Amino acid sequence: MHAMAQREDASLQGLIDLERYPLHDLEGTAGQRLIDECRRQLAEDGCVVLKRFVPEHAVARLERETERLSPEAHYNQTETNPYNSDGDPSLPASHPRNRFADRTNGFVAGDRIDGDTIIRQVYENPQFQRFIASVVDMEEVHEYADPLAGLVINVLREGCQHPWHYDTNEFIVTMMTRQSHGGGRFEYAPGIRSLEGENFDEVEKVIDGDRTRVKSLELQPGDLQIFFGRYSLHRVTPVEGDKERHTVIFAYAKEPGFIGRPERAQRIFGRMAPIHEQLLKEGMRRSDNLQD
């Protein structure tokens, strides 16, 4: 093994369970098998959960990291429909576009998460990034250039929830670090919509409580989840009890240099970074036309 691989291996040693998940040797048989299995599950279900991705001995440290940082969370509350859009008065009140629910949650911004945390070391690790890129079938993934939105801790306290929604990102990588006493379950309806159509009738059924298409995950601290939330309707049920639910979001982009919109930073984190203020001044001269 050459020096670079050894360095990368050493930097993941003790942070993830390399026996079970050989990220240091993705070209090997076990590494290829892991990638193939993850891809198969994603193709079938839009979701893969790698149980106990962080080894047992590091889970308590992982939990302490997000506990220490959780008071930094900025909370915001909105009423939202599954499409994060306005309602449509020409449609019936029961239509999914007119079904609004409370979304309240807190986010700790990336610039509060220091370099010696497990989560920061995993997020920035080239082997981890290569693994994620392979699983989601991309050439490579890049850390955000946005200092707030790349690595984020989602904090849900009692009563907080993410109602039924779709993601704007093609994929999302998350790690549970602390489970609540009750509620806070991740539920999803795999592939309920597609490029061919929105499937509003089926979406309405799910919102009305039909469980036929719904899967529910009991995530535990140290579990890593890769999820295609663009086509799978999903939610986190309201958190119950006085123990917060913490999840780390590892955000990656297809291209280097991604920075979120200043107004989004202000809404989600309650502030902007200098780069956002600069972009506002320059009138957001950006190379893409992203809406987020």
The CATH number for 63's domain is 2.60.120.620
For 122-153, write each residue's pLDDT tens digit.
999 999 999 999 999 999 999 999 999 999 99
pTM of the model: 0.91
For 213-227, write each residue's pLDDT tens digit.
999 998 999 999 999
Is 155 a domain residue? yes
What is the distance between the alpha carbons of residues 180 and 182, in angstroms, rounded to a whole number? 5
Q: Which residue has the tokens 């309707």?
A: 233
Is 183 a domain residue? yes
Q: Which structure tokens are listed for 214?
A: 């719904």
What is the distance between the alpha carbons of residues 47 and 89, in angstroms, rounded to a whole number? 34
Spans of the chain, pLDDT less than 50: 1-7, 289-292
Q: Which residue has the tokens 């440290």?
A: 61
At residue 289, the pLDDT reads: 47
Q: Report which of 66, 64, 242 is spatially closest to residue 160, judged by C-alpha positions.
A: 242
Is 270 a domain residue? no
- Range of the structural domain that residue 72 is part of: 3-254
At residue 156, the pLDDT reads: 97
Is 92 a domain residue? yes
CB 165 within 8 Å of CB 224: no
At residue 284, the pLDDT reads: 58
Is 292 a domain residue? no
Is 289 a domain residue? no
At residue 170, the pLDDT reads: 86
State how beta strands 186-189 and 215-217 pair.
antiparallel
- The total number of structural domains in the chain stands at 1
CB 244 within 8 Å of CB 250: no
Is 167 a domain residue? yes
Is 101 a domain residue? yes
